[in-house]
Chain A
Amino acid sequence: MLLIECPWCGKRDESEFSYAGEAHIARPLETEKLSDIEWADYLFMRKNPKGLHREQWLHTAGCRRYFNAERDTVSYQIKSTYKIGELPSSEGKA
């Protein structure tokens, strides 16, 4: 069972959270100028790395807020969690 640290509530059991996919995907500006290929990249293409992954979680059964995590997708170890709009501490705060 994963123990996940919500940046607001602290460490809680995995079952309180929902996974919400790859983090830091910014909606492109001026979408009316996007080509179909650029749309496909934004909507569907994913990094899906084997190793460190930056991803979003939702504390569904807690504060109900989204946050980000850096997790190893092989060991499932969570290296850090940080608030939406921030970068992981390994890169300094945005």
Chain B
Amino acid sequence: MSYHQNWSAAWRSPEPKQQYDAIIVGGGGHGLATAYYMAKEHGMKNIAVLEKGWIGGGNTGRNTTIVRSNYLWDESAHLYEKSMKLWEGLSQDLNYNVMFSQRGVYNLGHTLQDMRDIQRRVNANRLNGIDGHVVSPQEIKAAIPHINIDQGCRYPILGASFQPRGGVARHDAVAWGFARGADKYGVDIIQNCEVTSILQENGAVTGVETTRGKILSPKVGVVVAGHCSVLADMAGFRMPIESHPLQALVSEPIKPILDTVVMSNAVHGYVSQSDKGDLVIGAGIDSYTGYGQRGSFSGIEHTVSAIVELFPIFSRVRMNRQWGGIVDTTPDACPIIGNTPVKGLYFNCGWGTGGFKATPGSGWVFAHNVATGEPHELNRAFALDRFVSGLLIDEHGAAGVAH
């Protein structure tokens, strides 16, 4: 017995080679999943994932881990549902426990219009084969005894949509599981390696300049979330993205009290309880743009007051930690996945406040896109040129501040 001292490393830390068949920039969950599926599904093994800090240190390790697929429009419903199906087999596929827990997700409605939108969304979901139903305040109270369904408060709970297959997963484990899986196929995961410019010749990408030297490749997939405008600027084109701080907090650990996920768009709060016992609480974005990875004090106050109105019993629980990520928001609250004006250069970004749930599905479609040079059927509609054609996919109702 060595008391957990002599575990072998779950992935290698190789020196970067001079050349790869493909480079993935960004070692978050999406970048690592992309590399994993490129190796597993497309037989590409000479790949590097370049991460400026440590893998999973961006939004992947900072989010509140809610997973669901109940989006309104067909394009997004199909993409997020693909991801949900992958989640359902992910621990087995990776042979790594990502602690995916389908404890159900409630999206609360507080006004008559909220309820109409919820009914419409649940109907659309069911037509797309996605589970969900509309529940009354009494049904919510029966499932979540501590919730406040008093109809006299400022934003009373009038009902909710419920997706039973929704839930949460362990965010770090998702990054580590995909990293270990990709590494097994020979993918080089290179940390502390920041991309500082994107090399091009005759309109095609030829590699990247990094803090660890020049690395050549005819294919570069950029998956850097909040930093996508910075990388697009290096490549010489513009993005319809604004990066905002988004924060979350956890309470001190308490005994099991909440066995599902509760979210509310209208009052800007969502809460679940981790296996450790802390209440995991998420806020809305700060209105201004920012790369500072921290949120405003007023944001915490706003969220906590909403949570305490929903769950008066939480009012005396203490906050333990608070942190922020940088989320890449788009005008239609949908991601941008696909080709760019530069040949061989692909972008996967714009997941904003809600991309953790999409991690496996995003990696799956982007692997196809980078490997074949053509979008997968599921990501075709999410091309950058939808902002030129005008074919936006307005998911503000299902995405918005909620995750």
Contacts and interface: CB of A to CB of B under 8 A. Distances in A.
Do A and B originate from a single complex? Answer: yes
Interface of A: 1-2, 14-15, 18-19, 21, 36-37, 39-41, 43-50, 53, 55, 71, 73-76
Interface of B: 227, 229-230, 233, 238-243, 287-292, 296-298, 331, 387-390
A48 B229 contact: yes
B298 A14 contact: yes
B387 A46 contact: no
Contacts of B227: 50
B291 A74 contact: yes
A48 B289 contact: yes
A19 B389 CA distance: 28
Contact of A46 (B239, B290, B388, B390): B239
Q: Which 6 A-B pairs have the closest CB atoms?
A: A44-B240, A48-B229, A45-B238, A19-B287, A40-B388, A19-B288
B273 to A, nearest CB: 30
Most chain B CB within 10 A, of A39, A45, A74, is at A45
B327 to A, nearest CB: 12
Contact of A55 (B230, B288, B297, B390): B288
A61 B99 CA distance: 46
B288 A46 contact: no
Nearest to B237: A45
Given A1-B296, A36-B389, A37-B388, A46 B242 contact: yes
B298 A15 contact: yes
A75 B292 contact: yes
A32 B240 CA distance: 22
Nearest to A50: B291
A46 B287 contact: no
Given A18-B287, A73-B291, A76-B290, A48 B243 contact: yes
Contacts of A39: 388
